[in-house]
Structure 1
Amino acid sequence: MGKPRLIILCRHAQSVGNENRTIHQTVPDHRVPLTAVGQEQALAAGDKLARLLRPSDTLQMITSPYTRTRETTLGILSSPALKEHPNSGSIRVYEEPRIREQDFGNFQPCQAEMARMWHERAAYGHFFYRIPNGESAADAYDRVSGFNESLWRQFAEEDFPSVLVLVTHGLMTRIFLMKWYHYSVEYFEDLRNVDHCDFVVMKLNDQHKYDLQTELRTWSGYSREQEELRYKCPPANRVVALKASVWGVRKFGGCVDGCNHEFDGDRSMMGGHVMKAGRDFGGSRSGAASRAASHDSTSDDDDDEGIDEDLDAAGPDGAKNGNGMIMGGHPADVIERLKMEAALGGNLVNGVKKLQVRS
């Protein structure tokens, strides 16, 4: 048949990560499953898809390899309405890693650090900002560009199905549309996410081009709507309490909680101690903005080597003092005590004994 008459983009159903963001600190993003609500949304999406199909239509589905998109695809295929379609037995399903979610950098840090990161991204620009150890939207654009080229080559096949469904992610839906319709960076950043299991429909016209059938939501449009509502329904005797920004006058691009890199004491001691006292599994590497200590006593990191056995014997929560008590706490407190100790020439400070570093 050549080009499909419909290309349908479907964002995955609600996942556990949408309901509880902290799961990304301990569960890889590609393994996050759907919620019970998400399972129902996927089934409903299958019913909706069945209503868009003609009796003669053939269907191909391409899904991101993430667990939440796989489960969404299975839910769609499990729809009773779709199973009743005359060509339900010939549906093709493929996985495509190039339409996976934007890489957010392996295990995510604590929520305070993630909030800071999103605030920094908003200041820098959503399209070009690269997640630490992850991707920018521009990186994702590059792989979507290659995927689109592969699609065009497949469209040249005579037996290509008449309807193509891409089960992907919110950002990737916007990236796909940006590439296909040549949107500007500014317009991409103005686009809002589609809701879970919502369809974005592209229809082939008489000129063999694809018309976008779905109205996209934008942040500028949302702002106008809210402004109109504000003038239509002004609140009576409203008192606006202005609160200072939680971020203050922070300049982005430096260290998150201030720079301690010029510490004059033993840097190897400080670095190793902070790693032990403040690491969250899947959280901030330096313990920034986190109060919880890890209970994982193993590490493969090179910069943890060279710490004396006294530190290892104390366990992951900190070093022992002269009385055999564990010295732990927030890394900022640990660093402050170490600075005081170094200033006093290695004397005991608050019962803390200076750690020795092997040469």
Structure 2
Amino acid sequence: MGRPRLIILIRHAQSEGNKNREIHQTIPDHRVKLTPEGWQQAREAGQKLRGLLRPDDTLQFYTSPYRRTRETTEGILETLTSDDPDPSPFKKINMKVYEEPRLREQDFGNFQPCSAEMERMWQERADYGHFFYRIPNGESAADAYDRVSGFNESLWRQFGDDDFASVCVLVTHGLMSRVFLMKWYHFSVEYFEDLRNVNHCEFLIMKKQKDSGKYDLENNLRTWSELRRERAAIKAKEDKELTDTGKEKEPSKAEKQATTPAPPRKWGGCPQGCNHGKNFKIRRDLAELRQHDENCAANGHTHTPPETNGTIASRRTPAKRVQGPNNSDDDSDDPRGRAPPQIDVTRAQEDIVSSPDGTPSFITIEDRLRSVSTPLKSNFLRTGRDFGGTYSGHASEEEFSENDARERLAAKAARVKSGERNGTSLNSREPSAVRHAHANRLGDAPNNSDQGSDGGDEAEDLDKAEKEDKSIRGSVY
């Protein structure tokens, strides 16, 4: 069938919450049921829908999961499929009824507060704007618009099914009906806020045009601006009649109140007053310093010294510096009464250590070279340059060319061989040893296991160093 020929939006029938708003203080909104009058409205809506349909029409219903909308759908189906007074061509077995949570009413929070607070909230909502005002612990109409947007897209995709019904009926709520039309017809926010609510069980009929395939809204939506113009026209007519008869019109109660300007309402802050400052007082010295800062900033003055009641920042106790062995100043005492630690960074050149405070390393150079000679075969366990996980910090092949690697390794092998031929200990503190043998990046001493050996072939040393470098390329070592 494709797209339906009719899309009909129906607001639920009268509910107990429409007659008495205070029940929302004790009954969740989704559990509010229909009144006896509401049930009658739902049955009448079924008879009206039956008169709009053709005998060969197929129907598909989408209803909000709230109780009042589900009961409205039941009342509609009761008379739509009834054989009283005439046999009905529409049977429940041939209809599809879906509950659609995205068609639920705007969320007004959980249990609502007292009537006075709700009235204050409705006034605040009217002044702020019905579309963007978010109910405390609830939704705004803009939030409901997002839900309806998703439903419209889903509905439009279902129109592509060949077996889709010829008439689509949406049983929803007043605000959601207006939001649905706003999304479908691209109403502006100003026009949406000017729209008046839909009556109970009122039909909003969207009919598909044969030529364009678009849906035209057959209803004339009521707006507040039109209502104000109608009332102004009635008032002008009454004033003219009084003028013709020569009688003076007695001012109404609303006109008397209009002559007395009412103070503007103030929103925001704490409703019904507050006592948040009852147990809180700002410190006097902080208030004075803050005022002093503001005066200095306004007059462009510089801050006075701390001894003469300076600013907040200038009155703070300066932080104590902890001097290291390389600082020229005297060491300051620790704030907790302890002397600062004396760290001898030169021990990294004498002992096999991994940190300046003398903590011995558990990984010697021999262990590292031994692990290099048997590299891991798993690609998932390779150590990266920053000692991270798999290939973490691993250098790309483009970062080091073969020529650069050979030159670097040749220079490294030459420095090591020079130190061995001179017979100097790699752990000694002689200038030549310091110049030719360097501690690695972790602060460990160079390997001295090969000291005293003959020079050997330089090419063989170069190949060995190259093989070693390829095994640990990109490593932190």
Scaled by the length of structure 2, the TM-score of the pair is 0.54
Contact 2:32/2:67 (8 A) holds in 1: yes
Deviation at residue 191 of structure 1 after TM alignment: 0.4
Matched, 1:105 2:109: yes
Q: Which amino acid aligns with 2:140?
A: S
Deviation at residue 243 of structure 1 after TM alignment: 3.2
Q: Provide the rounded CA distance (Å) in 1 between the counterparts of 2:31 and 2:156.
A: 30
Match of residue 36 from structure 1: 36
Deviation at residue 215 of structure 1 after TM alignment: 0.9
Q: Which amino acid aligns with 1:53?
A: L
Unaligned runs of 5+ in 2: 243-247, 282-477
Match of residue 15 from structure 1: 15
Find runs of 4+ consecutive structure 1 residues off by over 6 angstroms: 244-247
Superposed CA offset, 1:262-282 (max 9, x none)? 11279xxxxxxxxxxxxxxxx
Matched, 1:174 2:178: yes
Match of residue 406 from structure 2: none
Alpha-carbon spacing, 1:134–1:142, altered in 2? closer, same or farther (3 Å): same
Give secondary structure in 2 for the equivalent of 1:93.
Answer: strand
Q: Provide the rounded CA distance (Å) in 1 between the counterparts of 2:179 and 2:144.
A: 7
Task: State which of 249, 273, 276 in structure 2 corresponds to 1:237.
Answer: 249
Matched, 1:133 2:141: no
Give secondary structure in 2 for the equivalent of 1:56.
Answer: coil
Give secondary structure in 1 for the equivalent of 2:257.
Answer: coil
Matched, 1:151 2:155: yes
Q: CA RMSD in A?
A: 1.9
Q: How does 1:334-345 map to 2 (within 5 A)?
A: none
- Aligned residue pairs total 266
Task: State which of 117, 121, 125 in structure 2 corresponds to 1:121.
Answer: 125
Unaligned runs of 5+ in 1: 267-359
Q: Which amino acid aligns with 1:243?
A: Q
Task: State which of 206, 209, 213 in structure 2 corresponds to 1:205.
Answer: 209
Contact 1:2/1:157 (8 A) holds in 2: yes
Superposed CA offset, 1:198-219 (max 9, x none)? 1000000021100001111100
Deviation at residue 257 of structure 1 after TM alignment: 1.7
Alpha-carbon spacing, 1:182–1:97, altered in 2? closer, same or farther (3 Å): same
Match of residue 87 from structure 1: 90
Matched, 1:250 2:265: yes
Q: How does 1:63-82 map to 2 (within 5 A)?
A: 63-79=63-79
Q: How does 1:221-236 map to 2 (within 5 A)?
A: 221-234=226-239
Match of residue 220 from structure 1: 225
Contact 1:47/1:81 (8 A) holds in 2: no
Match of residue 314 from structure 1: none
Match of residue 160 from structure 1: 164
Is the radius of gyration larger for structure 1 or structure 2? 2
Match of residue 6 from structure 1: 6
Contact 1:22/1:110 (8 A) holds in 2: yes
Higher relative contact order (CA 8 A, sep 6+): 1
Superposed CA offset, 1:46-84 (max 9, x none)? 000000000110001110000000000000000056654
Deviation at residue 194 of structure 1 after TM alignment: 0.9
Superposed CA offset, 1:160-211 (max 9, x none)? 0000000000000000000000000000000011100010000000211000
Contact 1:49/1:82 (8 A) holds in 2: no
Scaled by the length of structure 1, the TM-score of the pair is 0.71
Q: Provide the rounded CA distance (Å) in 2 between the counterparts of 1:52 and 1:224.
A: 33
Q: Which amino acid aligns with 1:208?
A: G
Q: Provide the rounded CA distance (Å) in 1 between the counterparts of 2:155 and 2:250.
A: 55
Q: Which amino acid aligns with 2:133?
A: Y
